[in-house]
């Protein structure tokens, strides 16, 4: 059932930060899988670039260890692994210095696609972009992949866009948001725009409300200091959740092309209403079975950063006027799950003796775990008991539908890297999109800062603070259960 794999063109991929956590856990294992699947051609070259010393053989060994650590043993084939390692080399480079760049230039081939992945701290994005051009390493055809976070507010995002624009054209810049690389997210577009079934109903006349939940069970320990400067709004809502919201709310683009899709997403962000203080709930997890409290994790008893946020949003346009979008995300919650739920209205008139407000038609799009979709429908309970109605899910779990081949669904990172090589920017954020998202986010954050808002405590393993439940209760609605 999985489509035939078409190899991409040969490429040279330089991973700045090749020895870092993201490269070891996601990028390198993903590339290995693309080679094993026959999508990455054997002529491709991977070049690790980082500050630490060492040569090709040390780096290859560290890649071998990373793959052994972060991939299931049965997913590693020794022959493919040796072939993969042979494709790899290393250059020691200080992103802020001038050594190493000439060596890197000598490694780049002119007749293949050149990709530079910035898997480093954001403070290095600009120095690397500058040096790539200064030392003649990247030409006007090269592509750069920029990791998150892309700025911390509108001002920093604008500055970063402006400095990248000095060296690279927008068509060369791939701002990565790995949520957009998920199979289900792309399926959201396929379901909406590839079928007649949903699109006519996809508006405020038929949809009661929409819920987006990104729940994590982990806390922030280990990266507490970093997280405390960011918080859930910047870490999750401004990028991942807004991107999901855009894909749900956008108008059908005229074609599936990068700018047509991104133009429509941008219009959604621009149509977002400012959020009223009463429509925002912020929280911090307390001490519990999972570990210390948020305040202990970040080592600041007076921190006012949120580890949980829930909000009610409105998209002010013809399609969505009057349909609320409820978003929530948080750490140390009950289960690890990411779900979009499109909750349809009740039938206008019920001929059966059932209460109103059941909202039995819910299209649930699950991003993790177990990517898949489910549509709740009402049917008659089988048997001779008369016309009794029950709600059942029409379930489409990709793992079940695809059987053994489900393991072949590429991870978001590997899919996105292959898109970079193919030169397809559809699933990457454009500069103006990122700025529009910050332009909406900044006043929301400034609002609670000006009010001196203190996040409410919530229990570990819960669904967040009680106030978050009220956010929907007062509208006569309820959150869907957080479950994995
Ligand atoms: P890391 O600290 O584990 O690795 C950083 C890498 O940068 C190392 O290879 C290091 O050698 C290199 N480096 C540091 N200073 C350098 C310099 N002056 N010159 C050249 N190389 C230098 O970081 P990470 O977790 O891999 O994250 C990298 C980027 O990816 C960050 O922007 C981060 O926000 C983003 N990101 C990471 C994750 C993740 O799961 N780790 C997830 C999403 C986004």
142-155, pLDDT tens digit by residue?
999 999 999 999 99
**17 Cα: distance to centroid of ligand 1 (angstroms):** 5
Residue showing tokens 């293949």: 112
- Closest ligand 1 atom to 96 CA: 18
Q: Which positions ≥6 away from 480 have C-beta within 8 Å?
A: 211, 213, 339, 341, 362, 364
pLDDT at res. 40: 96
**254 Cα: distance to centroid of ligand 1 (angstroms):** 38
**58 Cα: distance to centroid of ligand 1 (angstroms):** 19
pLDDT at res. 6: 87
CA 4 from chain centre, in angstroms, equals: 26
- Written as six digits, the tokens of 202 are 């996809």
pLDDT at res. 371: 82
Whose Cα sits closest to atom 40 in ligand 1?
22
Percentage of the chain beyond pLDDT 70 is: 97
- Written as six digits, the tokens of 418 are 């292959």
Do 327 and 212 contact (CB within 8 A), yes or no? Answer: yes
Segments in the chain below pLDDT 70? 1-3, 398-409
**222 Cα: distance to centroid of ligand 1 (angstroms):** 15
pLDDT at res. 405: 58
Do 298 and 227 contact (CB within 8 A), yes or no? Answer: yes
Mutate to test the pocket of ligand 1, among 93, 121, 230, 412 (most ligand atoms within 8 A of CB): 121
Whose Cα sits closest to atom 34 in ligand 1?
148
Sheet order of strands, 337-344 included? 389-397, 372-380, 362-368, 337-344, 207-215, 325-330, 308-313, 280-285, 456-458
pLDDT at res. 404: 59
**56 Cα: distance to centroid of ligand 1 (angstroms):** 20
Q: Which residues line ligand 1 (CB under 6 A)?
A: 17-23, 50-52, 93-96, 119-122, 124, 147-149
User: What does each C-alpha distance from 9 to 48, 113, 482 come to in angstroms?
Assistant: 20, 8, 42
Mutate to test the pocket of ligand 1, among 18, 21, 94, 181 (most ligand atoms within 8 A of CB): 21
**120 Cα: distance to centroid of ligand 1 (angstroms):** 3
Q: Which positions ≥6 away from 364 have C-beta within 8 Å?
A: 339, 340, 341, 342, 373, 374, 375, 376, 393, 480
pTM assigned to the model? 0.94
| β-strands 337-344, 362-368 pairing | antiparallel
Whose Cα sits closest to atom 32 in ligand 1?
121
Is 240 labeled as catalytic in the residue annotation?
yes
Mutate to test the pocket of ligand 1, among 22, 26, 135, 178 (most ligand atoms within 8 A of CB): 22
The pLDDT tens digits of the residues spanning 329-384 come to: 999 999 999 999 999 999 988 888 888 888 889 999 998 887 888 999 998 999 98
Whose Cα sits closest to atom 42 in ligand 1?
22
Do 215 and 223 contact (CB within 8 A), yes or no? Answer: no
Q: What kind and span of H or E run contains 303?
A: none
Catalytic-role residue among 167, 178, 209, 240: 240
């Amino acid at each position: 059932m999985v489509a035939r794999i078409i190899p991409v063109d040969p490429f040279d991929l330089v991973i700045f930060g090749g020895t870092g956590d993201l490269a070891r856990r996601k990028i390198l294992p993903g590339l290995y899988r693309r080679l094993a699947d026959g999508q990455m051609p054997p002529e491709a070259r991977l070049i690790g670039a980082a500050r630490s010393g060492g040569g090709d053989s040390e780096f290859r060994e560290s890649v071998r260890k990373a793959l052994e650590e972060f991939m299931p043993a049965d997913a590693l084939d020794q022959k493919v692994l040796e072939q993969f390692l042979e494709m790899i080399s290393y250059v020691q480079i200080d992103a802020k210095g001038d050594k190493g760049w000439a060596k890197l230039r000598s490694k780049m081939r002119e007749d293949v696609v050149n990709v530079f992945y910035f898997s480093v701290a954001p403070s290095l994005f600009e120095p690397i972009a500058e040096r790539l051009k200064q030392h003649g390493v990247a030409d006007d055809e090269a592509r750069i992949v920029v990791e998150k976070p892309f700025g911390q507010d509108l001002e920093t995002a604008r500055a970063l866009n402006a400095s990248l624009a000095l060296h690279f054209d927008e068509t060369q810049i791939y701002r990565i948001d790995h949520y957009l690389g998920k199979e289900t997210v792309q399926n959201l577009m396929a379901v909406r725009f590839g079928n007649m079934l949903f699109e006519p109903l996809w508006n405020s006349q038929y949809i009661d409300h929409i819920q987006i939940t990104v729940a994590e069970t982990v806390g922030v320990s280990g990266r507490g200091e970093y997280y405390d400067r960011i918080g859930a709004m910047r870490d999750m809502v401004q990028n991942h959740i807004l991107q999901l919201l855009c894909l749900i709310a956008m108008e059908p683009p005229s074609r599936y092309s990068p700018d047509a899709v991104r133009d429509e997403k941008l219009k959604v962000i621009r149509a977002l209403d400012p959020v009223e203080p009463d429509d925002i709930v912020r929280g911090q997890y307390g001490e519990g079975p999972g570990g210390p409290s948020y305040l202990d994790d970040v080592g600041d008893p007076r921190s006012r950063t949120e580890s949980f946020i829930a909000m009610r949003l409105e998209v002010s346009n013809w399609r969505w006027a009057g349909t609320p979008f409820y978003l929530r995300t948080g750490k140390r919650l009950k289960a690890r799950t990411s779900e979009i739920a499109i909750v349809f209205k009740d039938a206008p008139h019920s001929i059966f003796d059932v209460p109103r407000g059941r909202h039995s038609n819910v299209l649930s799009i699950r991003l993790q775990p177990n990517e898949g979709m489910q549509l709740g429908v009402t049917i008659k309970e089988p048997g001779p008991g008369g016309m009794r109605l029950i709600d059942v899910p029409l379930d489409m779990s990709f793992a079940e539908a695809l059987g053994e081949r489900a393991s072949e669904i590429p991870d978001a990172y590997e899919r996105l890297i292959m898109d970079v090589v193919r030169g397809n920017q559809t699933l990457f954020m454009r500069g103006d999109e990122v700025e529009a998202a910050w332009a909406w986010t900044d006043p929301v954050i400034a609002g609670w800062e000006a009010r001196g808002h203190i996040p409410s405590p919530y229990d570990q393993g819960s669904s967040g603070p009680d106030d978050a439940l009220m956010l929907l209760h007062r509208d006569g609605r309820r959150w869907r259960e957080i479950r994995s």
